[in-house]
């Protein structure tokens, strides 16, 4: 299988997965770069997977459906361009010979879902939209900190080898904040050097992996004593998992 981050807008990745003949795309905010990629590799688009309703993830759905006849799959409780097959946690989606499980991961939006397959070319694979970013997480537009924390806990519990396909190239900015939170994290420092080199070469920092993220992503590490202490210095009212997570997210929102 081939896994390709198709660039769109300033920093979106529209993930294209194909077997040389058939393809799926995740969160096509724009149809044009996807149609170009399909044409270049002579691919038939079979499925369009959608994680949440934001325009930068849905803007190309109608044009792609019209051009290719692809089946659209999306979150049951969000409004995305119809017709689509509505999915919620526990449901399974078969495409390209793969089996994807649907996970509910509310927080960035209220009905956000993720797509996880335990096996694609020997390792698991996750499409997580704007829930988890490398070194960070999505902003809480519709969900509560408790919801987002539980969504991220769910993703952090996936196997370490899971490749994580995030929808934006936000990694370097996220890591600069992560370093302010955890200045002594050696895994984080090493990962930042790797990512700086990738970006210098014009390459994506993604996919990441769950194993890497649990070592470097402060939003998956809010129960680490060092992070709890750093967040407490930012907001002395923090006293449990949820308040630490909420304050960390607030700190990131105002970080310059």
Tell me which of 52, 53, 104, 112 is the catalytic residue.
Answer: 52
Binding mask 10-49 for Zn ion (x = CB under 5 A): ----------------------------------------
Name which of 130 and 213 has its Cβ closer to Fe ion: 130
> Is there binding between residue 78 and Zn ion (CB under 5 A)?
no
The answer to whether 107 and 138 have CB atoms below 8 angstroms apart is yes
- Please report whether residue 54 would count as binding Zn ion according to CB under 5 A: yes
116 C-beta neighbours (distance < 10 Å), count: 19
How are strands ordered across the β-sheet holding 92-95? 92-95, 98-104, 113-120, 123-129, 163-166, 208-209
Among 30, 78, 130, 213, binds Fe ion (CB under 5 A): 130
- One of 18, 53, 57, 112 is an active-site residue; which one? 57
169 binds Fe ion (CB under 5 A): no
Q: Which one of 76-84, 124-132, 198-206, 222-230 is the stretch in contact with Zn ion (CB under 5 A)?
A: 124-132
Tell whether the torsion through CA atoms of 108, 134, 38 and 29 is positive or negative. positive
Identify which range of 50-58, 94-102, 186-194, 207-215 contacts Fe ion by CB under 5 A. 50-58
Q: Is 18 a catalytic residue?
A: no
Tell me the site size for Zn ion, rule CB under 5 A: 2
Distance between CA atoms of residues 33 and 185, nearest Å: 38
Query: Contact with Fe ion (CB under 5 A): which of 56, 78, 104, 213?
Result: 56
Residue closer to Fe ion (CB basis): 130 or 192: 130
Strand order in the sheet with 85-87: 2-8, 12-18, 22-26, 44-49, 71-75, 85-87
Minimum CB separation of residue 156 from Fe ion in Å reads 21
How many helices (H) and strands (E) are present in the chain, helices listed first? 9, 14
- Left if phi > 0, otherwise alpha if psi is -120 to 50, otherwise beta: which for 243? alpha
Does 53 sit near Zn ion (CB under 5 A)?
A: no
- Is 108 a known active-site residue? yes
Q: Are the C-beta atoms of residues 222 and 245 closer than 8 Å to each other?
A: yes
**Identity of the residue, 84 or 191, whose beta carbon is nearer to Zn ion in the bound complex:** 84
Active site residue 112: no
Alpha-helical regions (H) of 101-224: 145-156, 171-181, 186-200, 210-216
CB-CB neighbours of 110 under 10 Å = 16
Nearest distance from residue 73's CB to Zn ion, in Å?
A: 17
Q: Are strands 44-49 and 22-26 parallel, antiparallel or unpaired?
A: parallel
> Rule CB under 5 A: which residues touch Zn ion?
54, 130
Kindly list the catalytic residues.
Answer: 52, 54, 56-57, 108, 130, 168
- Positions touching Fe ion (CB under 5 A) are 56, 130
């Amino acid at each position: 299988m081939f896994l390709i981050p198709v660039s769109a807008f300033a920093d979106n990745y529209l993930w294209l997965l194909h077997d040389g003949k058939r393809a799926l795309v995740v969160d096509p905010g724009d149809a044009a770069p996807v149609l170009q990629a399909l044409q270049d590799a002579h691919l038939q688009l079979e499925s369009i997977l959608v994680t949440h309703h934001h325009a930068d993830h849905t803007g190309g759905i109608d044009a792609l459906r019209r051009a290719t006849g692809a089946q659209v799959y999306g979150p049951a409780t969000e409004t995305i361009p119809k017709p689509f097959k509505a999915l919620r946690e526990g449901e399974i989606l078969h495409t390209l010979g793969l089996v994807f499980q649907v996970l509910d991961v509310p927080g960035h939006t209220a009905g956000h879902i993720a797509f996880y397959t335990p096996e694609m070319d020997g390792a698991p694979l996750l499409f997580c939209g704007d829930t988890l970013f490398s070194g960070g997480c999505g902003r809480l537009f519709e969900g509560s900190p408790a919801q987002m924390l539980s969504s991220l806990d769910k993703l952090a519990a996936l196997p370490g080898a899971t490749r994580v396909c995030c929808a934006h190239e936000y990694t370097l900015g996220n890591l600069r904040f992560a370093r302010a939170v955890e200045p002594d994290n050696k895994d984080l420092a090493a990962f930042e050097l790797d990512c700086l080199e990738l970006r210098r070469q014009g390459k994506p920092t993604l996919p990441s992996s769950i194993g890497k993220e649990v070592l470097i992503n402060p939003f998956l590490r809010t129960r680490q004593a060092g992070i709890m202490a750093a967040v407490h210095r930012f907001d002395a009212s923090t006293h449990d998992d949820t308040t630490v997570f909420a304050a960390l997210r607030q700190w990131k929102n105002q970080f310059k």
